[in-house]
A and B are shown apart, each in its own frame.
Chain A
Amino acid sequence: MAPKTLYDKIWDAHVAHQGDDGTCLLYIDRHLVHEVTSPQAFEGLRMSGRKVRAPEKTIAVPDHNVPTTLDRLKGIDNEESRIQVEALDRNAREFGVVYYPVDDIRQGIVHIIGPEQGWTLPGMTIVCGDSHTATHGAFGALAHGIGTSEVEHVLATQTLIQKKSKNMRVEITGKLSEGVTAKDITLAVIGETGTAGGTGYVIEYCGEAIRNLSMEGRMTICNMAIEGGARAGLIAPDEITFNYCEGRPNAPTGKLWNEAVRYWRTLFSDDRAHFDKTITLQGENIAPVVTWGTSPEDVLPITATVPAANDFKGGKVNAAQRSLDYMGLTPGTRLQDVEIDAVFIGSCTNGRIEDLRAAAEIVKGKKVQDGLIAMVVPGSGLVRLQAEEEGLAEIFKQAGFEWRLAGCSMCLGMNPDQLGPQVRCASTSNRNFEGRQGRGSRTHLMSPAMAAAAAVTGKLTDVRELM
């Protein structure tokens, strides 16, 4: 038998029908749903008298619009946001899908609670009307974002019309230096490939530095595969994966668990499997990084200076100038001299317990600089609870952070958590696009530890100096 990649194996195990032209119907094991990209899909079903084919494999949660302030159970002030969340409430109940409403302790960002509740398991196909579905690839599951028309297609048929992508291998060798985290790896990779470098590919991340990451770190890596343009990111499951999954509410138990693990152990890329493209980065050479521009590919080590537009080539010259103007940065400025106005710690990229631990370790016993907007938004109600039990919440509050309820929050500001024009933010989220955190706002992407360091000093900071 020809050697296969991990992607090949998962793909082959899910083809329900193959057409003469290679177009496949790919069976979907888990369909995650949130309030922003689903109302038109449910309405489509209603209009055509269709049902949800597999409601027990469909998991819904409101996350983008929900306020994160402590009084949110009083209701949502913004009428459109309220209507959208109410529509999900109604659709979830009418179509009988699994649902975590806003007042459930298990509510949170869809990509945080899927793994947390054991819905996400190795070898599965997982989709959601959300580009950061790539997160679930950390389990060795083929997971990617889809549009609302495809959400309707999956609701109705539990399949997706797909053509296979190409295979890319991203290897991170060796060990990471102190202060360097999964976020730095994933940003460094995008800095290397560019935001279109992964277009047409599914990326498998491998190498010693990836193997040594926790599930939380692996989720951060795969989460941003989409920012490199890839359809999905994958990491082969191993003992770390199985240990994370075991005992989760929706994971198999007993004999089924053993059977599942036996199968999961076959999920790796065979020796000599064909990759269309391979990139290798040495873990030792990755530094703590930040973004300076308005594309996630605008990545530099924190020790660098702001580039000039002329440092780039082709269409990037104009794009870089536009970014510099938007970000209010002068070429040649040391990144560590850039002062910030806000800090956001949270999102599906970095809203898990390990992220909060890393940030708390930096801010412990210190204070957030006066005048900064600073908030920590746990990725789920259960992450929040755990952080409170571990004393992390107290550390954040003592330092001067706001300690919020779970949701997508300021990663995209669909709820009231938005920044004003020219407000500069050290953010653990995934996109630094123009206007992403509020019209005119300026986003610098970085790891939770780096964001925590920036909160303490009031400017972009090399976290290694605070360790």
Chain B
Amino acid sequence: MEKFKQMTAIAAPMPLINIDTDMIIPKQFLKTIKRSGLGVSAFHEMRYQMDGTENPDFVLNQDAYRNANILVAGDNFGCGSSREHAPWALLDFGVRCVISTSFADIFYNNCFKNGILPVIVTDKELNVLMQDAEKGSNARMVIDLESQLIETSDGKVINFNVDQHRKHCLINGLDDIGLTMEKAASIDMFEKHMATNAPWV
């Protein structure tokens, strides 16, 4: 997993609430057995018209936002299906940070496993960030995970909370499985305990 410390990047505004993972990556792209190559299909139905050409109204098709690495989105981002293809598609497109007032639980977890930082802010803060994102490509936002702050293009600073274990893994690009395997003795012991106490499991 790629490390995440600090980034200065273009943020794309997506003010819609309840952006679900079917919207982020529709079903026909879930048939892959790889993690890569999904960026071109991210937000497929909003991004492309029926004939396959780009929909000029969609934010990521506008020149200012083609290279956006941050999304500023409406409430309950990533709801619905557990598909990790959603963060894979965002990552492949180049998105490393999503900011919203809330995230669906599974999507939120999935982001951290893929080097994407999901940031939860208040309604008021989201308005400030949405307005900043709407300024286009001349406006760059700073995301600083180590200091847990966002800085808008005009210097407003917004602090955010993040779970310290997840922050540590993201900053150091750590693989969860390796960390858990170091605790194999605890898992062995738990299994022995269960074999005695709940042998029907």
**Residues of chain A having any CB pair with chain B under 8 Å:** 13, 16-17, 19, 21, 23, 25, 27, 29, 36-37, 39-40, 43, 48, 50, 53, 64-65, 78, 80-81, 83-84, 87, 121, 123-124, 129-131, 144-150, 152-153, 156-159, 161, 163, 195-196, 199-200, 227, 229-231, 252, 256-257, 259-260, 263, 295, 315-316, 318-319, 322, 412-414, 421, 431, 433-436, 439-440
Contacts and interface: CB of A to CB of B under 8 A. Distances in A.
A35 B30 CA distance: 10
A229 B17 CA distance: 14
A16 B187 contact: yes
A200 B165 CA distance: 18
Contact of A124 (B22, B177, B201): B201
Contacts of B194: 27
Contact of B33 (A16, A39, A260): A39
Nearest to A151: B84
Nearest to B178: A48
B114 interface: yes
The residue among B15, B22, B114 with the most chain A CB atoms within 10 A of its own CB is B22
Interface stretch (B73-81, B89-97, B131-139): B73-81
Given A80-B31, A149-B114, A158 B187 contact: yes
Which 10 residue pairs of A and B lie closest in terms of their CB atoms, listed nearest first?
A149-B113, A252-B200, A80-B31, A147-B110, A147-B84, A16-B190, A39-B33, A145-B82, A196-B76, A315-B17
Given A147-B113, A161-B180, A229 B104 contact: yes
B114 to A, nearest CB: 7
A129 B30 CA distance: 13
Given A412-B27, A435-B23, 5 more contacts: A78-B31, A161-B165, A295-B18, A315-B17, A414-B31
B163 interface: yes
Interface in B95-152: 102-106, 109-110, 113-114
The residue among B18, B20, B26 with the most chain A CB atoms within 10 A of its own CB is B18
A145 B104 CA distance: 12
Contacts of A83: 31, 33
Contacts of B164: 21
Nearest to B35: A40
Contact of A431 (B80, B113, B176): B80
Given A16-B190, A145-B82, A434-B22, A319 B16 contact: yes
Interface string B183-198: 1101101110010001
Contacts of A161: 165, 176, 180
A47 B80 CA distance: 30
A152 B175 CA distance: 11
15 contacts: A13-B198, A16-B187, A23-B163, A25-B183, A36-B31, A37-B83, A53-B187, A121-B200, A149-B113, A156-B177, A195-B18, A195-B79, A196-B75, A229-B105, A322-B16
Interface in B155-190: 163-165, 176-177, 180-181, 183-184, 186-187, 189-190
A159 B180 contact: yes
Contact of B105 (A53, A81, A200, A295): A200
B82 A256 contact: no
B113 A129 contact: no
B195 to A, nearest CB: 12
Nearest to A152: B177
A193 B59 CA distance: 30
The interface size bin for chain B is: 35 or more
Given A27-B194, A84-B31, A157 B106 contact: no
A65 B33 CA distance: 13
Nearest to A421: B50
Contact of B200 (A257, A412, A431): A257
A150 B113 contact: yes
A16 B102 CA distance: 30
Given A83-B33, A157-B181, A315-B75, A149 B187 contact: no
A147 B82 contact: yes
A414 B30 contact: yes
A195 B76 contact: yes
A30 to B, nearest CB: 8
Contacts of B83: 36-37, 147
Nearest to B188: A16
B104 A434 contact: no
Contacts of B34: 40
A112 to B, nearest CB: 18
Contacts of B106: 131, 144-147
Interface string B22-46: 1100111011111100000000010
A413 B109 CA distance: 26
Nearest to A252: B200
A263 B201 CA distance: 12
Interface string B1-31: 0000000000000011110101100111011
